[in-house]
Amino acid sequence: MAELQEVQITEEKPLLPGQTPEVAKEAELAARILLDQGQTHSVETPYGSVTFTVYGTPKPKRPAILTYHDVGLNYKSCFQPLFQFGDMQEIIQNFVRVHVDAPGMEEGAPVFPLGYQYPSLDQLADMIPCILQYLNFSSIIGIGVGAGAYVLSRYALSHPDTVEGLVLINIDPNAKGWMDWAAHKLTGLTSSISEMILGHLFSQEELSGNSELIQKYRNIITHAPNLANIELYWNSYNNRRDLNFERGGDVTLKCPVMLVVGDQAPHEDAVVECNSKLDPTQTSFLKMADSGGQPQLTQPGKLTEAFKYFLQGMGYMASSCMTRLSRSRTASLTSAASIDGNRSRSRTLSQSSESGTLPSGPPGHTMEVSC
């Protein structure tokens, strides 16, 4: 009799009772598609219902990436070009994402009834704990644009222990003064709501150039079925309170912060002022050339690279490789250093080594980058 051989078969994913391999494969494929498309949820808060979409699955000992969009946009129109960018895929594989839509801004949202009291930006920030409690998430890294950057900053001030880091694009931490309020009222007499919001999102140069991007977003906002809701969000933004940031004071962001603004963007001065009020040892300032008013739409590659280094500085993705762009910058910086090696320099993203780690740099000043 031939000698019998013992063969050990290991089943990595045991089948459910009565489940065939074909059915299991179809179920796994359906689950992957569901994760790729995102799972949309709504939760009731003291200030009304809020909708958010979750992509991916929670990773052990890692925060969620939570985004909050600007006025006139929703999470898709604000962040989709950034999160669909090729180099961003390495990042999002390592984090679960939560994209929050401000009330009434989600796709298919019904128009609020006449006289509806829309939440203030402070109240929008107070909705975030309800989202995290619903998802059982303990901490976040926030990415906000414009009004969304303000909302996340307000949340971080009141819940500092749950925020590991913030990327704030086009943030204006100041309340509108009397002159700003008067100018806003006068503009409202001669311009439509959609044109005022476009002027908030994009520079005058961009609007005059009327590129395909501008045409696309002008069409999105002008023909939005929920334009009345957008106007309510716009009014809340214009009635925001001062965040009262004070360098060295009690009111400041405790977590690492990356401030981002485009060169000649509508909010450039406000972001520069915000940078001057935050803790310089915790703050990075990225001014992006040729990016206009919405860097996450026009320069997703540069912003992805900066975000990757920001995460590495927080201790995540330490083994991530440098992009071609960062390698070319490192080479350029090395050449410049050979000419003037003794010149002192501020910390920049382009000072990173080939290992892709963020340089520690001397403490006590802001990392300021122009790219």
Six token digits for residue 133: 């409690």
Residue 356 within a domain? no
Residue 22 within a domain? no
Average pLDDT over residues 216-227: 96
Helix 121-135 to helix 227-238 angle (10° resolution) is 110
**Residues 224-273 pLDDT 10s:** 999 999 999 999 999 999 999 999 888 999 999 999 999 889 999 999 99
Residue 207 within a domain? yes
What percent of the chain clears pLDDT 70, i.e. is strictly above it? 72
**Residues 180-210 pLDDT 10s:** 555 555 565 557 999 999 999 999 999 999 9
What percent of the chain clears pLDDT 90, i.e. is strictly above it? 67
CA distance 68 to 203: 21
Q: What is the pTM of this model?
A: 0.80
Q: Containing domain of residue 54, as a range? A: 33-314
Residue 354 within a domain? no
Q: How many domains does the chain have?
A: 1
Query: Burial letters for 326-335: b for 16+ Cβ neighbours within 10 Å, e otherwise?
Result: beebbeeeee
Residue 363 within a domain? no
CA distance 10 to 220: 53
Residue 275 within a domain? yes
Of 32-46, 82-96, 281-295, the range with the lowest mean pLDDT is 32-46
Name the average pLDDT for the chain.
82
Q: What is the DSSP string of 70-95?
A: -TT--HHHHHHHHHTSGGGHHHHTTS
Residue 208 within a domain? yes
Strands 367-370 and 140-145: unpaired
CB 348 within 8 A of CB 302: no
Neighbour tally for 21: CB within 10 Å? 9
Q: Where residue 56 sits, what CATH number does that domain have? A: 3.40.50.1820
* pLDDT bucket at 85, cuts 50 / 70 / 90: very high
CB 268 within 8 A of CB 289: no
Of 69-73, 163-167, 366-370, the range with the lowest mean pLDDT is 366-370
Helix 300-313 to helix 324-339 angle (10° resolution) is 80
Residue 118 within a domain? yes
